[in-house]
Amino acid sequence: MPRHRLEPLRSDGLDPDPLVQFGRWFEQAEREVPLPEAMTLATVDADGRPDARMVLLKGFGTDGFRFFSNYESAKGRQLAERPRAALVIYWRELDRQVRVAGPIARLSVEDSDSYFASRPRDSQVAAAASPQSEAIEGRDWLERRVREIEQANPDALPRPSHWGGYVLEPESIEFWQGGPGRLHDRFRYARGDSGGWRLERLAP
């Protein structure tokens, strides 16, 4: 059960800009939720088959929601073929869910480089060593790759070209908050034709 019951959501209590509203919720989640940045990323492959997995939100703003991964992984291939995705975050302690959907693009080389450079060395080495989503012969093989990469790069490790960031540009963002008697509150922002946001309450 959530630790506290929040006031029901009302449209006049929501910011007209969903990114500002997300920022408010995220700030509260950072105070009250372990790993508030964990989110499910849903993608589809070229045949329309869905797939989903957890990733970490590494930033958000007017450009969208940012995360990092391996461009040659299953998700990387799916996103290359079908550059649209959906994100879902659930903050159990607040009984809140956020859903985001829209087109997705790679972050700039500069943004990926600077984020990679900011990561701990272990994470850099792991990103370089792991052919993410490929079948491998065993853990020993992976650990050997790690040692080889560490030895070959005693100083700073350059960002591997197969690893970098994505940004999901939201076309819709839905805020859900659990309510008493399962009368939950749901508000969805959708982009209007003029580029502004339209806000509507949805039935729970």
Ligand X SMILES: Cc1cc2nc3c(=O)[nH]c(=O)nc-3n(C[C@H](O)[C@H](O)[C@H](O)COP(=O)(O)O)c2cc1C
Supply the minimum distance, in Å, between the C-beta of residue 53 and ligand X: 4
Query: Rounded to whole angstroms, how far apart are CA atoms 176 and 163?
Result: 33
Nearest to 8 by CA among 174, 172, 173, 182: 182
Residues 6 or more apart from 46 whose CB is under 8 A from it?
78, 81, 82
Going 141 to 144 to 146 to 152, the CA torsion angle's sign is negative
Segment near ligand X (CB under 6 A), from 16-24, 46-54, 101-109, 141-149? 46-54
Decide: is 75 part of the binding site for ligand X (CB under 6 A). yes
> Two tokens at 5?
């019951």
Strands 96-106 and 163-168: antiparallel
Segment near ligand X (CB under 6 A), from 10-18, 62-70, 118-126, 180-188? 62-70
Decide: is 73 part of the binding site for ligand X (CB under 6 A). yes
Decide: is 50 part of the binding site for ligand X (CB under 6 A). no
Measured distance between the N- and C-terminal CA atoms of the chain, rounded to whole angstroms: 19
Residue 96 is among the residues annotated as catalytic for this protein = no
Q: Binding residue for ligand X (CB under 6 A) from 2, 28, 32, 38?
A: 38
**What residues between 138 and 167 interact with ligand X by CB under 6 A?**
none
Task: Pick between residue 17 and residue 122 the one whose CB is nearest to ligand X.
Answer: 122
Positions in the binding site for ligand X (CB under 6 A): 38, 51, 53-56, 67-70, 73-75, 132-133
